[in-house]
Amino acid sequence: MVYLHVPFCRSFCTYCGFYSETCSKSRQSELFNEYADAVLTEAEERKEEIRSNPLRTLYIGGGTPSVLPPDVLRRVVQGIRRVQGDTPLREFTIEVNPEDIVEKGDEYLAGLLDLGVTRISMGIQSFDDGILRWMNRRHDSARARKAYSMIRRAAGRAGKEIEVSIDLIFGIPGLDLQTWERTISGALSLGKDEGFKTPDHISAYQLSIEEGSALEEKIARGECTEASDEDCYRQYRTLCRKLHQEGYNHYEISNFAIPGKEAVHNSAYWNRTPYVGLGPGAHSLTIRDDGQQVRSWNTQVLPARGKTYSREMEVLSDEDIRVERIMLGLRTSAGLPADELSLLAGKDALEKQVAAGCLAIGPDGRARIPEERFFVSDEIIGSLV
């Protein structure tokens, strides 16, 4: 299970706090290839860790992975696959920007499919062009629709099945419920006029104020104000209702999928499956031979030529593991076994949350946060932690 972080973007979105770099066209070739060299060196150094991982998935995120030239992307993927070994991948996801898909065209998509990509995650965020401009996104709603159709058409030509996931954002300053409903409708109508199926997966995130983002500066200057909890709640409940009507399974607080199309890689994070993160800023979770669990992370800086990434790490305490198990397990519709949660959080705390309707214990003996309480899950989980 490998996550590769691609730390490059053509421009920075208003809300983004993830580590990424922009680079001038004059330096792109050099910088991209230095990045690829460092990633492949790191993958080779961590070969045993990668090969011992029981789940064979590859997820390329960012940043904006689709800014990488096809030859650089191919070199990196082939190098990582050599390290992973001959076992077929259960899932191979790459994140893309709609504008890159439209600009690079069918040849680029054919190249992704030829590399073995089985899942494309596209950051659309909104179908309102004014909001997209406010976000400093490079695409508009028409280009998002075109990119989606191009992906479906390319898969059809290649005779391959590919899953498409899209990202949306709610809780945006000034976003009214009617505009948000139009965005949901836009997502659910993707490709329909050409006979394509709708997205297999939809991730919808509430806008957060990330440290160092342009949005944080805008709020500090009084140029905009955060959306109220009431507005965010109404938008979230509307999303849940409309996607439920369309047959989506709400399997994690922010994630919805057509049954059977849940993200394998991301689901493993919530189950605390060990994984290897490659590239600057990437995190990893490792279980040592002695049973100790170690979380590590690469420094957020591009290495000098011929160098790889330096890593920092911490051994997780029993308390760290307890908190993560509660926090991640209860984010999902699967929840946690009630007996386990009773041990992790205490019987009294569990019974109190069940009595308040904040947790429900099903016939299968698992404790879950009901969907109507997902919006306040942080408070529920906090009380158990």
Residue 225 has pLDDT above 70, yes or no: yes
3-state class of 319 per DSSP?
Answer: helix
Q: Establish if 257 belongs to a structural domain.
A: yes
Going by DSSP bridges, is the β-strand pair 119-125/91-96 parallel, antiparallel, or unpaired?
parallel
Q: Are residues 190 and 83 in the same domain?
A: yes
Q: Are residues 255 and 333 in the same domain?
A: no
Q: Are residues 233 and 362 in the same domain?
A: no
Q: Are residues 245 and 340 in the same domain?
A: no
CB 237 within 8 A of CB 181: no
373 lies in which domain range?
318-385
Q: Are residues 263 and 147 in the same domain?
A: yes
Q: Establish if 313 belongs to a structural domain.
A: no
Q: Which residue has the higher pLDDT, 314 or 139?
A: 314
Residue 11 has pLDDT above 90, yes or no: no
Q: Tens digits of per-residue pLDDT, 137-147?
A: 888 999 999 99
Helix (H) or strand (E) holding 177, with range, is helix 177-188
Q: Which of 228, 254, 269 is the last residue of a domain?
A: 269
pLDDT averaged over every residue in the chain = 91
Q: Establish if 300 belongs to a structural domain.
A: no
Residue 130 has pLDDT above 70, yes or no: yes
Q: How confident is the model at residue 23 (pLDDT cuts 50, 70, 90)?
A: low
Tell me the sheet residues that pair with 293: 287
In the chain, count of helices (H) and strands (E)?
Answer: 14, 15
Q: Are residues 213 and 332 in the same domain?
A: no
Q: Which of 240, 269, 298 is the last residue of a domain?
A: 269
Average pLDDT over residues 114-143: 92
Instruction: Identify the pLDDT of residue 238.
Output: 97
Nearest Cα to Cα of residue 100 among 126, 133, 63, 135: 63
Q: What percent of the chain has pLDDT over 90?
A: 76
Q: Establish if 248 belongs to a structural domain.
A: yes
Q: Write out the two tokens for 132.
A: 């997209």
Nearest Cα to Cα of residue 381 among 347, 349, 337: 349
Instruction: Identify the pLDDT of residue 65.
Output: 94
Average pLDDT over residues 67-84: 95
Residue 81 has pLDDT above 90, yes or no: yes
**Domain CATH number, residue 50:** 3.80.30.20
Q: Establish if 301 belongs to a structural domain.
A: no
* 20-34, 292-306, 349-363 — most confident range: 349-363
DSSP state, 223?
A: S
Average pLDDT over residues 297-315: 82
Q: Helices 347-355 & 377-384, crossing angle to 10 degrees?
A: 150
Instruction: Identify the pLDDT of residue 207.
Output: 86
Q: Establish if 277 belongs to a structural domain.
A: no
Q: How far apart are CA 114 and CA 318, in angstroms?
A: 44
Q: Are residues 109 and 9 in the same domain?
A: yes
Q: Are residues 140 and 216 in the same domain?
A: yes
Our count of domains for the chain comes to: 2
Q: Which of 269, 296, 331 is the last residue of a domain?
A: 269
Q: Are residues 102 and 232 in the same domain?
A: yes
Q: Establish if 290 belongs to a structural domain.
A: no
Q: Are residues 182 and 34 in the same domain?
A: yes
Q: Are residues 191 and 107 in the same domain?
A: yes
Instruction: Identify the pLDDT of residue 20.
Output: 61
Q: Which of 24-33, 161-170, 230-239 has the lowest mean pLDDT?
A: 24-33
Residue 287 has pLDDT above 70, yes or no: yes
Instruction: Identify the pLDDT of residue 134.
Output: 81
Residue 16 has pLDDT above 70, yes or no: no
Q: How confident is the model at residue 224 (pLDDT cuts 50, 70, 90)?
A: confident
Q: How far apart are CA 288 and CA 271, in angstroms?
A: 18
Q: Establish if 297 belongs to a structural domain.
A: no
Q: How confident is the model at residue 357 (pLDDT cuts 50, 70, 90)?
A: very high
Q: Which residue has the higher pLDDT, 72 or 218?
A: 72
CB 203 within 8 A of CB 168: yes
Q: Are residues 327 and 247 in the same domain?
A: no
Q: How confident is the model at residue 17 (pLDDT cuts 50, 70, 90)?
A: low
Q: How far apart are CA 249 and CA 197, in angstroms?
A: 16
Residues 6+ apart with CB under 8 A from 315: 292, 293, 294
Instruction: Identify the pLDDT of residue 168.
Output: 97
Residue 191 has pLDDT above 70, yes or no: yes
Residue 206 has pLDDT above 70, yes or no: yes
Average pLDDT over residues 192-219: 83
